[in-house]
């Protein structure tokens, strides 16, 4: 980054003792240790949680990519926080970040200055929390992020080719916040600040913790007891059944509490929160992000930020339910959409960036075209445990109206500073091609496909068939490849 884009470093969350001193602080409420570089942007989890807690009236600092191989000075430099340490491996699972699918070591890291590899350990959640508990045994450690979130129960570790227990067994953390963490983390902070003991925080939604085995309840409508880790080691089918339960509960609007015995302990996973309201998700995206890497990275490039710096995320969640994907286990199946006003505020922020040339690189989301979609009758959705609203065929209760999305595209493109906006996220063409039976919606959706292809493709349109063989696609919970050919006919006709 060029020096000219930087303002006063006090506009970022502090990352060093000198920055804390410059703010005049004599204590810190929460210190977050992150495996990523600190980029103050809503696409980077540590920044989101830090800014959320700051808006909640707390003093928050971030220690990005601490050195775990020296005398541990990075873990000591800010001392102990008043409330808790937060730990996150970063925006990617560390093992996906470090290794290819062939288990070969990667030579770069997109979330590190200049793409340099080796700036975080394997399994940072485990390594960072072990160090913090060694240095500050009495201070609570709360883990979050994709690595901790998706390893909250026993899981197959591809990199080691073995079944591993919940990360709560391997990492000495006091609690995991899984999924989107803004609401749970503020509840934790409030209750600790009010003087409650950590051991009493067993009921916070979207958290997982390790308890004595004798507290496990009998199974009922509100509690699901999974096969124990030891049983799963002996029986792969038990592990598969466990995964089905976890997936189903992640896809429910009001899930059950999940328990899994691990020896003389049991993992308790509290239900996922209902989807954020528009007001709640707007509040997160409207926080005072600088949208820039911290000044400590002057004249260095952070590839992950370079890729998304001119993009805007419209919503969270995905109801595609692809069998190989865990978005719903982290963000949920139900879509939480931002308001048009919040989106336009962020687009205007992007247009004021010094290197903005008039092109929005992506108006997207986990699936680009699910904005403001969901069940017409939410009482039906409240009972549903289907992993996908689109497979084996689109749900008759699904509203697939693309009109709100077209309205966003039109509003963004009408801004004088915007020459063109592109859709860089994957598009579910089976969603936009589905005939709903409502002529107005079907006409709008045909117009969406035309506008997408004529106005929002930057060289290549990303769609996601992932395979070409129908029986494989069916196992993947994807539509027949015939539908891809139908979409390609539309694409070719419009381009001609």
Q: How many domains does the chain have?
A: 2
Residues 265 and 320 in one domain: no
Which of the listed residues 247, 269, 291 is the one where a domain comes to its end? Answer: 269
The verdict on residue 176 lying in a domain is: yes
Residues 348, 249 within the same domain: no
Residue-number span of the structural domain to which 359 is assigned: 310-495
Residue 377 lies in a domain: yes
In a domain, residue 67? The reply is yes
Within a domain: 75 = yes
pLDDT in tens, 79-110: 999 999 999 999 999 999 999 999 999 999 99
- Determine the average pLDDT of the residues in 56-66: 98
Cα-Cα-Cα-Cα dihedral of 87, 200, 188, 67, to 10°? -10
Alpha-carbon torsion (63, 68, 72, 73), positive or negative: negative
In the prediction, which pLDDT does 7 show? 56
Is 332 in the same domain as 230?
no
Domain contains 285: no
pLDDT at 8: 64
Segment 174-205, tens digit of pLDDT? 999 999 999 999 999 999 999 999 999 999 99
| 434 and 343 within one domain | yes
Is 341 a domain residue? Answer: yes
Whole-Å CA distances, 180 to 232, 296, 440, 458: 28, 27, 35, 30
What's the Cα-to-Cα distance from 434 to each of 301, 445, 449, 453, 483, rounded to whole Å?
42, 8, 11, 17, 10
d(CA 44, CA 48): 6
Q: How far apart are CA 261 and CA 255, in angstroms?
A: 19
For residue 124, pLDDT beyond 90: yes
The count of other CB atoms within 10 Å of the CB of residue 17 is 13
- Tell whether the model's pLDDT for residue 156 goes beyond 60: yes
Residues 154, 63 share a domain: yes
When pLDDT is averaged across residues 285-292 and rounded to a whole number, the result is 97
Q: Which of 202, 237, 269 is the last residue of a domain?
A: 269
Instruction: Inform me whether the pLDDT recorded for 459 exceeds 80.
Output: no
Task: Look at residue 275 and tell me if it is in a domain.
Answer: no
Q: Identify whether 177 is part of a domain.
A: yes
What are 105's strand-pairing partners? Answer: 99
Closest CA to 56 of 248, 185, 201, 247: 185
What is the reported pLDDT for 10? 78
- CATH code (residue 347): 3.30.750.210
Sort 469 into a burial class: Cβ within 10 Å, 0-12 / 13-18 / 19+. exposed
Please check the confidence at residue 318 and state whether its pLDDT lies above 80. Answer: yes
Tell me: do 318 and 450 sit in the same domain: yes
The whole-number pLDDT of residue 5 equals: 52
- The pLDDT value recorded for residue 307 is 95
Give mean pLDDT, residues 248-271.
95
What is the average pLDDT across 236-247? 96
Residues 6+ apart with CB under 8 A from 388: 319, 320, 321, 322, 477
Tell me: do 336 and 235 sit in the same domain: no
2: pLDDT strictly greater than 70: no
- The mean predicted confidence, pLDDT, of the chain is 95
Separation CA 316–CA 254 (nearest Å): 18
């Amino acid at each position: 980054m060029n020096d000219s884009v930087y303002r006063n470093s006090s506009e970022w969350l502090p990352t060093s003792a000198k920055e804390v001193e410059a703010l005049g602080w004599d204590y810190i409420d929460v210190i977050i240790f992150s495996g990523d570089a600190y980029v103050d942007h809503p696409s980077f989890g540590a920044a989101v949680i830090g800014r959320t807690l700051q808006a909640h009236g707390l003093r928050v600092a971030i220690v990005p990519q601490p050195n775990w191989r020296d005398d541990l000075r990075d873990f000591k430099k800010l001392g102990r926080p008043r409330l808790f340490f937060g730990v996150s491996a970063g925006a990617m699972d560390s093992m996906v970040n470090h290794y290819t699918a062939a288990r070969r070591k990667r030579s770069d890291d997109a979330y590190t200055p200049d793409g340099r590899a080796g700036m975080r350990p394997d399994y940072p959640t485990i390594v960072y929390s072990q160090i913090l508990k060694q240095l500050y045994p009495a201070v609570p450690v709360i883990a979050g992020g994709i690595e901790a979130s998706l390893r909250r129960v026993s899981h197959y570790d591809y990199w080691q080719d073995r079944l591993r227990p919940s990360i709560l067994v391997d990492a000495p953390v006091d609690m995991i916040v899984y999924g989107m963490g803004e609401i749970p983390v503020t509840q934790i902070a409030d209750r600790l600040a009010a003087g409650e003991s950590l051991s009493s925080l067993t009921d916070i939604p979207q958290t997982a913790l390790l308890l004595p085995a004798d507290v496990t309840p009998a199974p009922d409508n509100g509690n699901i007891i999974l096969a124990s880790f030891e049983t799963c080691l002996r029986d792969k089918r038990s592990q598969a059944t466990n995964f089905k339960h976890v997936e189903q509960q992640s896809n429910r609007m009001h899930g059950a509490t999940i328990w899994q015995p691990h020896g003389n302990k049991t993992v308790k996973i509290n239900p996922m929160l209902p989807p954020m309201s528009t007001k709640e998700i707007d509040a997160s995206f409207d926080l005072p992000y600088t949208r820039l890497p911290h000044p400590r990275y002057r004249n260095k490039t952070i590839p992950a930020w370079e890729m998304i710096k001119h993009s805007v995320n419209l919503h969270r969640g995905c109801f595609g339910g692809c069998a190989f994907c865990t978005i719903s286990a982290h963000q949920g199946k139900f879509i939480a959409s931002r308001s048009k006003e919040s989106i336009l505020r962020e687009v205007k922020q992007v247009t004021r960036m010094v290197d903005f040339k008039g092109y929005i690189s992506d108006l997207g989301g986990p699936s680009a075209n699910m904005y403001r979609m969901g069940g017409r009758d939410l009482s039906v959705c409240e009972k549903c445990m289907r992993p996908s609203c689109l497979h084996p065929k689109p749900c008759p209760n699904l509203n697939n109206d693309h009109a709100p999305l077209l309205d966003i595209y039109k509003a963004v493109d009408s801004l004088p500073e915007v020459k063109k906006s592109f859709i860089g996220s994957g598009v579910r063409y089976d969603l936009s091609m589905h005939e709903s039976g409502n002529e107005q919606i079907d006409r709008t959706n045909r117009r969406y496909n035309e506008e997408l292809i004529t106005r929002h493709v930057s060289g290549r349109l990303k769609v996601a068939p992932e395979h070409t063989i129908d029986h494989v696609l069916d196992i993947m919970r994807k539509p027949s490849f015939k539908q891809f050919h139908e979409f390609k006919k539309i694409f070719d006709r419009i381009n001609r």
